[in-house]
C-alpha cells in the first residue's frame, strides 16, 4: 500500500460540520468527476485524512489551502511524523503542492546520545549492519556519509534514522556507487517497464531519456506522490543521477486523478520476471537465495534468507508486483548463532524503547534459540503489530511470538448513516478509486461494497477505507473492470 502497511486501530469521530466540509454532496445527481474541488473541501479532506493517520497527533497540525496549495503548520514528535503528515496531504485529490511549515518537537537528548542511538539502529539491523556509514550530529541536523550500492539503500538508511526522536533534519550525503555498467538503451528499457508495470501510477505519460547513466524524465503525472514514486522507479542499477524537473503535475481536472484502463495482469512468466526484478532491487533481500514460482497469479516464495526482515520484505515485494493475486511465503530463515540470546534480547528491548509509537509501554522480551517472545500490554492492534515488526527487524531473530495483550478501548458508536458518509468521503478523495462506480451499504455497522475498480490494489484500498472508517465487518464484492 502506498500510504500505510497496517490498518489503523482507532477511529476519529468527525463533527457534522467537518462532514459537510469534507464530503462532496453532489447536487442534482452531478457526477463527482465533473465537480471543481474548492479550497474549503480540500482543507476539510486533508484535516480528516490527518486525523486517520495512525500514530500522528493531528490535533497539533493546522491545515490551510489556497488554490490547491496546502500549508501545514504546527509541531510533531519526530521527523518521520513530519514526513507522514506531508505525504498524507499530498495524496488528497485536488492538492497541487504542500508547503511544510511543521517543526519537530525537541527531544531531551544531547547530540552524543542521538548519535549513539543512530549507530545502534544501523548496527542492529541485518540490512545495514555491514554498511560503512559515518554519522555526524550537531544542533541543526544529522549528516550521513559513506557509500551504498543503490538509491533504495540510500533512502532506506535515511528512513531508519528519521524514525528516531531527537532527529530534526537529515543531510543524506550517502554516495550511490553502482557496481554495474549498463548501456543507455538497457537502462531506458528497464525504467520504462517499471513505470508501465507500476500499480500506483495512473496512466503515466512519461518519456525516459538516458545519457551516460544520467536519467531525465519528461512528461505529466497526476499528483505529487506520483512524481515522487516516478523518481524512485528511475533509480535502477547503473543510474548515477535522475532529473525530474521536466515532470509536471497536472491535477487541474478530477478526471486527471482517475485510472480508467482495464487491469491486465499479464502471464505467469511476466509476473515471475517482475517479482525477481523487484527482489533484486531491494537491499533488504539477497535475491540469489530466494526461489520464485508463479501459477495463475499466485506467487510462492522459497529458499533460505538470513533474517526474518528479509523474509517479510520478499513477501512485500511480491505483493506489490503487477499481476500478483496472492503470495505464499515458504521462505526459511537461517538461524544465526553469531549472536547470543542475551544480545538479541537486549537489541530488541532497546529498539522497542526508542520506537516513536512504543516507547511509552513497559514490554518484556524473551529470546531462546533465535525465537523472540513479546509480552506486555498495548492499547491498540496497530501497536501490537508495530512491536512485531520492530522485533522482526533485529538481526539474529528468526521468529517472533507476539503474546502482547491489547487493552482495547471501544470506539464511540457510529451510526450507519455516519459510517456510510465516512466511507464515501474517503473513497471520493482517493486517487485510485472512482467513487461514482462504488456503492456503499451499511447495516448495523456491517459494510458491503459493490462496484468496479481497475486494479487489485484498489480493491484492497476500498476494504482498508471501510475498516479504518469504523466498520465492524466488511464484505468487499467489488469487481475488477474487464478487459475489452
Residue 249 vs residue 384, higher pLDDT? 384
CB distance 222 to 200 below 8 Å? no
Show which of 141, 176, 211 is a domain's final residue: 176
Same domain, 323 and 373: no
**Model confidence band, residue 195 (pLDDT cutoffs 50, 70, 90):** confident
Same domain, 283 and 310: yes
Show which of 312, 333, 354 is a domain's final residue: 333
Question: What does the DSSP assignment read for 354-401?
Answer: H-TTTTTS--EEEEETTEEEEESEES-HHHHHHHHHHHHTSTT--EEE
Rounded Cα distance, 233 and 244, in Å = 11
- Over pLDDT 70: what percentage of the chain? 85
**Model confidence band, residue 411 (pLDDT cutoffs 50, 70, 90):** low
Total count of residues recorded for the chain: 484
Q: Say if 443 falls within a structural domain.
A: no
CB distance 418 to 391 below 8 Å? no
**3-class DSSP state of 69:** strand
Same domain, 238 and 276: no
CB distance 170 to 144 below 8 Å? yes
Same domain, 328 and 349: no
Same domain, 163 and 192: no
In this predicted structure, what is the pLDDT of residue 252? 54
In this predicted structure, what is the pLDDT of residue 11? 30
Same domain, 167 and 195: no
Same domain, 234 and 216: yes
Same domain, 195 and 236: yes
Handedness of CA 126, 390, 272, 266 (dihedral sign): negative
User: Is the pLDDT at 179 greater than 70, yes or no?
Assistant: no
Q: Say if 25 falls within a structural domain.
A: no
CB distance 395 to 219 below 8 Å? no
In this predicted structure, what is the pLDDT of residue 14? 35
In this predicted structure, what is the pLDDT of residue 431? 67
Continuous segment of H or E residues that includes residue 52: helix 39-52
Q: Say if 448 falls within a structural domain.
A: no
In this predicted structure, what is the pLDDT of residue 60? 84
Which tens digit of pLDDT belongs to each residue from 334-390?
877 788 999 999 999 999 998 888 988 999 999 998 999 999 999 887 889 899 999
Show which of 202, 225, 257 is a domain's final residue: 257
Mean pLDDT, range 459-474, rounded to an integer: 86
Same domain, 324 and 285: yes
User: Is the pLDDT at 263 greater than 80, yes or no?
Assistant: no
Residue 398 vs residue 54, higher pLDDT? 398
CB distance 187 to 215 below 8 Å? yes
Same domain, 245 and 205: yes
Contacts of 412 (CB under 8 A, 6+ apart): 11, 13
33-47, 257-271, 283-297: segment of lowest average pLDDT: 257-271
Q: Say if 451 falls within a structural domain.
A: no
- Over pLDDT 90: what percentage of the chain? 35
Q: Say if 304 falls within a structural domain.
A: yes
**Model confidence band, residue 271 (pLDDT cutoffs 50, 70, 90):** confident
Same domain, 197 and 171: no
**For the chain, what is the domain count?**
4
Q: Which three cell numbers stand for residue 88?
A: 498524507
Residues spanned by the domain of 373? 341-406
Which tens digit of pLDDT belongs to each residue from 71-113?
999 998 889 999 989 988 888 877 888 999 999 988 888 889 8
User: Is the pLDDT at 24 greater than 90, yes or no?
Assistant: no
As beta bridge partners, residue 217 has 208
What CATH number does residue 395 fall under? 3.30.1340.30
Q: Say if 153 falls within a structural domain.
A: yes
Per-residue burial over 96-119, b = 16 or more CB atoms within 10 Å of its CB, e = otherwise: bebeeebebeeeebeeeebbebbe
Helix pair 224-233, 151-162: axis angle to 10 deg: 130
Q: Say if 148 falls within a structural domain.
A: yes
Q: Say if 146 falls within a structural domain.
A: yes
135-139, 213-217, 250-254: segment of lowest average pLDDT: 250-254
In this predicted structure, what is the pLDDT of residue 54? 66
What CATH number does residue 119 fall under? 3.30.1340
Q: What is the mean pLDDT of the chain?
A: 82
Continuous segment of H or E residues that includes residue 465: helix 456-469
In this predicted structure, what is the pLDDT of residue 35? 52
Neighbours of 211 (CB within 10 A): 10
Contacts of 38 (CB under 8 A, 6+ apart): none
Same domain, 349 and 326: no
Which tens digit of pLDDT belongs to each residue from 201-239?
766 789 999 998 899 999 988 777 788 889 989 988 888
Q: Which three cell numbers stand for residue 446?
A: 456491517
Amino acid at each position: 500500500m502506498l500510504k500505510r502497511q497496517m490498518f489503523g486501530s482507532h477511529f476519529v469521530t468527525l463533527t457534522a460540520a467537518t462532514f459537510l466540509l469534507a464530503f462532496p454532496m453532489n447536487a442534482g445527481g452531478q457526477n463527482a468527476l465533473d465537480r471543481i474541488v474548492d479550497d474549503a473541501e480540500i482543507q476539510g479532506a486533508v484535516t480528516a485524512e490527518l486525523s486517520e493517520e495512525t500514530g500522528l497527533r493531528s490535533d497539533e497540525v493546522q491545515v490551510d489551502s489556497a488554490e490547491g496549495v496546502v500549508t501545514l503548520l504546527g509541531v510533531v514528535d519526530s521527523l518521520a511524523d513530519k514526513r507522514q503528515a506531508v505525504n498524507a496531504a499530498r495524496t488528497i485529490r485536488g492538492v497541487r503542492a504542500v508547503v511544510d511549515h511543521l517543526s519537530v518537537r525537541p527531544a531531551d537528548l544531547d547530540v552524543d546520545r542521538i548519535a549513539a542511538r543512530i549507530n545502534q539502529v544501523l548496527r542492529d539491523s541485518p540490512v545495514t549492519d555491514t554498511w560503512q556509514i559515518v554519522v555526524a550530529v550537531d544542533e541543526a541536523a544529522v549528516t550521513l556519509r559513506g557509500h551504498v550500492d543503490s538509491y533504495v539503500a540510500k533512502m532506506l538508511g535515511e528512513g531508519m534514522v528519521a524514525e528516531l526522536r531527537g532527529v530534526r533534519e537529515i543531510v543524506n550525503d550517502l554516495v550511490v556507487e553502482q557496481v554495474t555498467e549498463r548501456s543507455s538503451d538497457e537502462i531506458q528499457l528497464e525504467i520504462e517497464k517499471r513505470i508501465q508495470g507500476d500499480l500506483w501510477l495512473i496512466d503515466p505519460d512519461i518519456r525516459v531519456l538516458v545519457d551516460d547513466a544520467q536519467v531525465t524524465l519528461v512528461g505529466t503525472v497526476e499528483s505529487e506522490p506520483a512524481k515522487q514514486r516516478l523518481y524512485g522507479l528511475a533509480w535502477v542499477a547503473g543510474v548515477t543521477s535522475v532529473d525530474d524537473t521536466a515532470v509536471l503535475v497536472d491535477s487541474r481536472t478530477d478526471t486527471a486523478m482517475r485510472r480508467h484502463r482495464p487491469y491486465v495482469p499479464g502471464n505467469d512468466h511476466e509476473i515471475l520476471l517482475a517479482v525477481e526484478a523487484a527482489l533484486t532491487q531491494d537491499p533488504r533481500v539477497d535475491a540469489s537465495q530466494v526461489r520464485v514460482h508463479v501459477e495463475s497469479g499466485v506467487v510462492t516464495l522459497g529458499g533460505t534468507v538470513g533474517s526474518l526482515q528479509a523474509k517479510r520484505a520478499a513477501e512485500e515485494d511480491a505483493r506489490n508486483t503487477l499481476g500478483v493475486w496472492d503470495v505464499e511465503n515458504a521462505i526459511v530463515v537461517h538461524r544465526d548463532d553469531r549472536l547470543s540470546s542475551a544480545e538479541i534480547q537486549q537489541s530488541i528491548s532497546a529498539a522497542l524503547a526508542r520506537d516513536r509509537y512504543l516507547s511509552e509501554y513497559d514490554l518484556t522480551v524473551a529470546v531462546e534459540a533465535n525465537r523472540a517472545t513479546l509480552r506486555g500490554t498495548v492499547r491498540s492492534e496497530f501497536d501490537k503489530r508495530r512491536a512485531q515488526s520492530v522485533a522482526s527487524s533485529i538481526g539474529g531473530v528468526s521468529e517472533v511470538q507476539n503474546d502482547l495483550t491489547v487493552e482495547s478501548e471501544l470506539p464511540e458508536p457510529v451510526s450507519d448513516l455516519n459510517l456510510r458518509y465516512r466511507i464515501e468521503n474517503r473513497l471520493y478523495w482517493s486517487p485510485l478509486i472512482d467513487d461514482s462506480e462504488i456503492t456503499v451499504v451499511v447495516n448495523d455497522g456491517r459494510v458491503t461494497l459493490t462496484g468496479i475498480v481497475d486494479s487489485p490494489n484498489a480493491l484492497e484500498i476500498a476494504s482498508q477505507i471501510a475498516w479504518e472508517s469504523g466498520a465492524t465487518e466488511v464484505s468487499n464484492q467489488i469487481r475488477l473492470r474487464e478487459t475489452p
